[in-house]
Chains A and B, each alone.
Chain A
Amino acid sequence: MSLALIVALPFLGAALPALAIRAGRDACAVVAGLVTGLALVLLALKAPVVLQGGVVQTRIDWLPALGLNANFFLDGLGLLFSGMILGIGLLVILYARYYLSERDNMGQFFSNLLMFQGAMLGIVLSDNILMLLIFWELTSLTSFLLIGYWKHLPEARQGARMALAVTGSGGLAMIAGMLILGQVAGSYDLTVILTQRDAILASGWYLPALVLILAGAFTKSAQFPFHFWLPHAMAAPTPVSAYLHSATMVKAGIFLLARMWPVLSGTFEWFVIVVFTGLFTMILAAKIALYKDDLKAVLAYSTVSHLGLITMLLGLGSESAATVAIFHIVNHAVFKAALFMSAGIVDHETGTRDLRQLGGLRRLMPVTFALTAIAALAMAGIPPLNGFLSKEMMLAETTQVIWPNTWIVAVLAVIGAALSVGYAFRLLAHGFFGPVRSDYPQRPHDPGFGLWAAPAVLAALAVLIGLFPNTLAGWIVNPAASATTGVGVFVHIEHWHGTKAAALWMSLAAVGGGLVLLGLYPRLRALWDALPKPDAKRIFDAAVEPLARDARSVTQAMHNGNFGLAVTLAVLTITGAGLFAFLTATHLPGTRALLPVGPVSFAIWSVMMLCALAAVLFHRNRVVALILTGVVGLLIAPLFAFFSAPDLALTQIAVEVVTVLLMLLALNFLPKTTPRESPLPRRVRDALVAGIAGAGVAWLAFAMMTRTPAFDPISAFHLAQSKPGAGGTNAVNTIIVDFRGYDTYGEIIVLGIAALILLALSEVLLASPAALRRLKALPKETESGDRHPMMLVVATRALLPMALMVGVYLYLRGHNMPGGGFVAGLVFAIAYLMQYMASGYDFSHARQRVDHHALIGWGVLVASLAGIGAWVMGLPFLTSGFTYIDLPPLEKFELATAMIFDLGVFLCVLGAVLLALASLSRLARRTDERPNTRAYDTERRR
């Protein structure tokens, strides 16, 4: 459970910052930090097992038949990533507290951040790949919210949309790839798939799966040619960039490569695609980074470049290279988060991130300079910082490559490294060195401790890992690399390999190359500026715009506000699909014995058909049409009774009465006739559509009724268990209150909500001047002489106790004979409705003691208590119990908890119907009608 809890915590806690912001910005940040911290503590409790080589698993079966289970597992790789997500998450929360201004909605920011954090944790801890895919798309969605956080900025909205489009569609490709893997491996559990390498390679589906999964990983990790979204995501607030582009979002793709490494790596296809994509991305992005002037753009492209480096290492396919990749993941997260935060500080304190407007900050912002210098030098790979170690190990790995020859990959890697040194040096040289200027947008100074505390922690880590790599990083790199590669890795990281090591000379060449680049910068820059460059955003927009336009035109053609068109299209599509399915499948012959047609059922049937046809013919007269509808509805009841469904017959009668009464009441506020508007061709067309659909449904119904079910109905169980299991002989009622009690529970809540919607909408209407004006202007119909005739009043009063008695009777016997809470509630409702009809709303309402809302509330509450009662007995929600009681002089009778549940159903139905009536009546009282205060009329109306 606790692994699931680690993932769930950020989601559960996401509401807290939004609430805590009312208590202030500090409270908001502290709450977000506490949620993250708690998850980190839970993770730390699991860590010892994992560090000793164990795997922690949490299995929650949800739909095992579909392979859809909420399974989580934590191994070395998961521990490394979840540690980074939560650890750097904490620092980012601290940083964001001081970075965001008063104007920013901090509650929303932290809520989004926590949801994103939860989605990331879900990716790295999921054992089930279907669940992993859901979390994968969740990171796309939540990062969309984070990148577009400053929604007033157009570039933020566009950048967010681009990130979502690219990473989201990559995710869709990955879903396909993962499904292939799952099918081939025969399981959707990662732990199983990871052992099925041979089966997957032999299946012939390896290459399609590989390409699709790589599409997902490369889009997320911004590998060429999908690298363009990442720089545009820089429109996000800097804390977001520091989080998304160091430890989380873009590392998700890398994580996936590492996760699938045992299954997918080591083939020629993997090597060629992954190594050269990574290598090319690394060089291309580093080159662009060299010429960017925006601090964050430099960092963005450098992130792409470093991701390329890690991708390349994972592509090499050797255990040692994968180990270096893991080590560089840690190092890059540390120095890149620090660099983003420093860039944010510069932006915050000087008012610009443009390197051309900066320079000389070394003296003005010494603390920021120190932090940036450490992180930038680590990024450049200067000893003894952490980046140096992994970069040199990377260079050493490239010398092992023998395809396409023994040196090309190594040379390209050195070029990439040199470019990396170049832009890191340039960032320092142009941003912090040089003379102090007089034209900064704001007077630069170091920020308060709160803002530089987080990057300081990271910079310290960069130094300490650089000095003591085996102590400080080895403990996590070893289990993570072992988990990635599937073999026990024990790495020993050294600073000095002697002068014979090729990597030393390659490192020196890279640093030298970087210095040369910096020296030649003005000339190179002039050359670069003169070159034509493709604008990724314009290309992206040009590719997306036609699609969006087509989508818009299709949508507008089908949803042009013409309801009839929408219904027609839907009906024809459904009919067509049904026909297609019916004709392309095989069927058993319809050999089921048919029932003979009796005179009574035929008579009922004929009247019903005639009334239905008449309703179409006379539908313009709305009162007549309603009466015909009511007749059809009432005739369905004997049909139900005839075909062995007494419960349905009772319910149908009761509901029909209530429905017709309410619709009659509603007709007070609507025109009494429908104008003749549609021309004949339109009516013919509609009749044709309706006829096709009706014929299809009739055919289907006939085909169904003339065949026995292909599978035995599960209701054999309900029939067999009705008496011994649920203690009732009415199988329909025991299904409703016991076997499928949860459904009913949901249903009465829906019914209650529907009644509340009625109340709310009538409330809205009563607050609208236009509606009130039209209410008063409604034409007054000539009514009968007596508004509230004494005869009706006396009759309904006499009927009231009898009707209530019938209701009680139906309720009490419901468990064993036709009846139950639904019908009883409706009968009660009708009995009260009659009082309202006889004496008017005002008179009756004044005598009503219980609020309708309260009835609904009590109904849900009683049903809930009946369900929760089972918990007290240690049984699942809504388990019912029953016993028989012998109480002379009564016969032996039964008491069941299902009765309590049925009481809840009863109250809810009664409340809902009465509330619906009350809502309509409230409208009626605003039509200038004279309110009645007496039970019946005592004077003649004019």
Chain B
Amino acid sequence: MEALFAMAIGLLTAVGIYLMLRLRTYPVILGLTFLSYGVNLFLFASGRLAVNAAPIIGYPQPYADPLPQALVLTAIVISFGMTAVIMIMAIGGYLEAGHDRVDLDDTLEPEA
């Protein structure tokens, strides 16, 4: 299972980076979302995988490591905040400049 999990992390990261390398803002934002998935799973994996071991006292031992879980929980919420902020930046860029390219290039004209 660990190998599959690692492959998932790798694929999510690769998809994230590929989309971030696109030329328009929207794919870049989706790419960042994918990258967040990958990073969150990676952080989660640092607690090692365990089945039927929810870290709730009173459940049968052993427990999964709760610390990476707490870290990832806050990371999930923060990445929502980050996505929302870059989203409005992308909208702002599009509405102000008339195009949604990410590269700075003064030679390009607005499209709309």
Q: Which residues of A contact B (CB under 8 A)?
A: 560-564, 567-568, 571, 592, 594-598, 601-602, 605, 608-609, 612-613, 615-616, 619, 622, 625-626, 629, 632-633, 636, 639-640, 642-648, 651-652, 655, 658-659, 662-663, 666-667, 669-671, 674-675, 677-678, 686-687, 689-691, 693-702, 704-706, 708-709, 713-715, 718-719, 722-723, 729-732, 735-736, 740, 743-744, 747, 750-751, 754-755, 757-758, 761-762, 764-765, 768, 770-771, 774-775, 777, 816-818, 822, 826, 909, 912-913, 916, 919-920, 923
Contact = CB atoms under 8 A, between A and B. Distances in A.
A743 B7 CA distance: 31
Nearest to B95: A771
Given A651-B77, A674-B26, A695 B84 contact: no
Given A655-B80, A818-B56, A562 B2 contact: no
Contacts of A563: 28, 102-103
Given A670-B91, A817-B56, A770 B96 contact: yes
15 contacts: A561-B105, A562-B104, A564-B103, A645-B64, A647-B69, A659-B84, A670-B25, A671-B24, A719-B66, A731-B66, A747-B78, A757-B88, A761-B89, A765-B95, A822-B77
Given A613-B11, A693-B14, A713-B67, 12 more contacts: A567-B17, A612-B34, A645-B64, A651-B77, A669-B95, A694-B12, A701-B5, A705-B49, A730-B57, A731-B57, A751-B81, A771-B95
Contacts of B77: 651, 655, 747, 751, 822, 826, 909
A735 B66 contact: yes
A291 B3 CA distance: 79
A704 B45 contact: yes
Given A564-B23, A648-B73, A690 B92 contact: no
B91 A601 contact: no
Nearest to B84: A916
Contact of A740 (B14, B50, B57, B70): B70
A714 B49 contact: no
A913 B78 CA distance: 11
A928 to B, nearest CB: 14
Q: Give 3 closest A-B pairs by Cβ, nearest first.
A: A698-B10, A694-B14, A561-B104
Contact of B1 (A596, A613, A670, A771): A596
A678 B23 contact: yes
B42 A701 contact: yes
Given A655-B80, A713-B67, A571 B34 contact: no
B65 to A, nearest CB: 5
Contacts of B9: 697-698, 701
A765 B92 contact: yes
Interface string B73-98: 11011111111110111111011101
B57 A644 contact: no
Contacts of A818: 54, 56
A674 B22 contact: yes
A473 B67 CA distance: 62
B66 A609 contact: no
Nearest to B17: A690
Nearest to A724: B57
A652 B76 contact: yes
A560 B15 CA distance: 25
Contacts of B17: 567, 571, 689-690, 693-694
Contact of A643 (B37, B38, B51, B78): B51
A696 to B, nearest CB: 8
A715 B67 contact: yes
B92 A613 contact: no
A269 B1 CA distance: 66
Contacts of A736: 70, 73-74
Contacts of A648: 44, 69, 72-73, 76
Nearest to B50: A644
B56 A731 contact: yes
Given A612-B15, A619-B22, A689-B21, A602 B4 contact: yes
A765 B89 CA distance: 10
B51 A777 contact: no
A458 to B, nearest CB: 56
A775 B8 CA distance: 39
Contacts of B13: 690, 693-694, 697-698
Secondary structure at the B interface, as helix, strand, loop or mixed, is: helix
Contact of A597 (B4, B41, B48, B72): B4
Contacts of B2: 594-595, 702, 705-706
Nearest to B48: A705
Indicate the member of A663, A699, A701, A913 with the most B CB atoms within 10 Å.
Answer: A701
B12 A754 contact: no
Contacts of B37: 632-633, 636
A596 B2 CA distance: 9
Contacts of B70: 732, 735-736, 740
Nearest to A762: B88
B6 A701 contact: yes
Contacts of A913: 80
Contact of B66 (A666, A732, A743): A732
Nearest to A590: B2
Contacts of B48: 592, 705, 708-709
Contact of A605 (B8, B15, B40, B58): B8
A845 B31 CA distance: 33
Contacts of B29: 663
A651 B73 contact: yes
A647 B1 CA distance: 21
A645 B44 contact: yes
Contacts of B85: 754, 757-758, 761
Contacts of B103: 561-564
A697 B14 CA distance: 9
B30 A615 contact: yes
B14 to A, nearest CB: 3
Contact of B12 (A602, A612, A666, A764): A612
Contacts of A755: 81, 84
A702 B3 CA distance: 6
B30 A731 contact: no
B81 A644 contact: no
Contact of A695 (B10, B12, B34, B105): B10
Contacts of A560: 104
Most chain A beta carbons < 10 A, residue from B40, B41, B53, B80: B80
Contacts of A817: 56
A563 B12 CA distance: 20
A729 B83 contact: no
Contacts of A670: 25-26, 90-91, 94, 100
A674 B57 contact: no
Contacts of B15: 612-613, 615-616, 690, 694
B6 A774 contact: no
B20 A567 contact: yes
Contacts of A644: 50-55, 63-64
Contact of A699 (B4, B6, B12, B24): B6
Given A561-B103, A644-B64, A758-B88, A674 B44 contact: no
A700 B2 CA distance: 12
B81 A754 contact: yes
Contacts of B54: 644-646, 818
Contacts of A608: 8
Nearest to B90: A670
A701 B10 contact: yes
A742 to B, nearest CB: 12
B74 A663 contact: no
Nearest to B98: A774
B88 A705 contact: no
Nearest to A562: B103
A766 to B, nearest CB: 10
